[in-house]
Amino acid sequence: MRVAVADEGVSGLTATKCCLDEGLDPTCFEWSQDNGGLWWKLHHFLTEMYSALQ
């Protein structure tokens, strides 16, 4: 069965993994260029801040 997952944040990636575990056929839709949602954005922000402080 095909399944649409809206977003590639932590919730979307987890939902996608669960779908795969259940033998479903998920397609993940993410409107930004990066996956990981807020976790990725926070990592990116902290990396830039750390670089600026050096």
Ligand X SMILES: Cc1cc2nc3c(=O)[nH]c(=O)nc-3n(C[C@H](O)[C@H](O)[C@H](O)COP(=O)(O)OP(=O)(O)OC[C@H]3O[C@@H](n4cnc5c(N)ncnc54)[C@H](O)[C@@H]3O)c2cc1C
- Compute the distance between CA of residue 4 and CA of residue 12 in angstroms, rounded to an integer: 10
Return residues touching ligand X (CB under 6 A).
6-12, 29-32, 37-39, 42
Rank residues 23 and 33 by Cβ distance to ligand X and give the closer one: 33
Taking the complex as a whole, the smallest distance from the CB of residue 19 to ligand X amounts, in Å, to: 15
Q: How far is the CB of 16 from ligand X (least distance, A)?
A: 11
Which lies closer to ligand X via its Cβ, residue 31 or residue 51? 31
